[in-house]
Homo-oligomer: A and B are copies of this chain.
Amino acid sequence: MQPDLHSRTAAAHALPLFRRRSPLVHCMTNDVVQTFTANVLLALGASPAMVIDAQEAAQFAAIADALLINVGTLTEARAQAMRAAVISASAAQKPWTLDPVAVGALTLRSRFCHELLTLRPAAIRGNASEILALAGASAGGRGVDTTDTAAAALPAAQDLGRSFSTIVVVTGEVDYITDGQRTLAVSGGNALMTRVVGTGCALSAVVAASGALSGDRLSNVASACAWFKQAGSQAAGHSGGPGSFIPAFLDALWTLEGEVQA
């Protein structure tokens, strides 16, 4: 089951559809990446909203087009609110996406992520260590950084995709997007993306948003990955370091061309 390279044409084709759809994304994410996540969604033409109280989150998850659950700064209270939002989103048939930050090494989030798996996320986005840990194939990295390559986690990702009928995205130098049947690969990007906090978390928000598009979801999610790789590569060319990379990356997402490319 070799991965297929996701075509740039498909990614460029999906972008104007995304902008036109302008998904309203309910983000329940960690404290560190909230601003960047919101700005990434805005730069791509989506509409972010962070609603966190359990009762309000349940209300809002039914209104929004998509929901993101990121466990980076989980607490018991937040887990309860996230659970309420997931149940509400599912009832309203809105897709939701899981970012299992640092799953494996820490007990609360590990239990919670495994519980969430059974509630059927539309997509999961993590680095190799996180996907391996979620699939039960390892104990996770030391923290938020991955100690494995994305390719090494691909079999685990495919297993997860099949077992839970979901799309699994493993990001790294090459991103893999799989539902266990088909696997797409996206290359590109730049190492500076790992020297800025929140690029992975923000991608998860865009993956969540892309769940609201019609058409082939696997391809749409791969397109989200491709936009990030392309913008990251462009931004790095205009950056003197991770500081100037951040505004350049948002500008690149904003100006990314959606026309069909050869």
Contact = CB atoms under 8 A, between A and B. Distances in A.
Interface of A: 24, 30-36, 38-39, 42-43, 47-53, 55-56, 59-60, 63-64, 72-77, 102, 105-109, 142-145, 195-198, 239-244, 246-255
Given A52-B73, A143-B63, A250 B243 contact: yes
Within the oligomer, what is the number of copies of this chain? 3
B143 A24 contact: yes
A42 B197 contact: yes
Nearest to A249: B243
B48 A197 contact: yes
A31 B52 contact: yes
A33 B35 contact: yes
Contact of A251 (B36, B73, B240, B253): B240
Contacts of A197: 35, 38-39, 42, 48
From A31, A33, A107, A249, residue with most partner B Cβ within 10 Å: A31
Given A50-B72, A142-B24, A198 B106 contact: no
By Cβ-Cβ distance, the 7 closest A-B pairs, closest first, are A243-B250, A241-B251, A243-B247, A241-B254, A38-B197, A49-B143, A243-B251
Contacts of A60: 105-106, 143
A26 B30 CA distance: 15
A182 B68 CA distance: 44
From A106, A252, A253, residue with most partner B Cβ within 10 Å: A106
A42 B200 CA distance: 14
Contacts of A48: 32, 144, 197
A144 B251 CA distance: 22
Contacts of A106: 51, 56, 59-60
A48 to B, nearest CB: 7
A61 B129 CA distance: 20
A42 B75 contact: no
A153 B157 CA distance: 50
Contacts of A145: 47
Nearest to A77: B75
Contacts of A24: 142-143
A72 B53 CA distance: 10
B30 A50 contact: yes
A237 B83 CA distance: 44
19 contacts: A31-B31, A32-B34, A32-B48, A32-B50, A35-B35, A39-B197, A39-B246, A47-B145, A49-B143, A59-B106, A60-B106, A240-B255, A241-B253, A241-B254, A242-B251, A243-B246, A243-B248, A243-B251, A246-B247
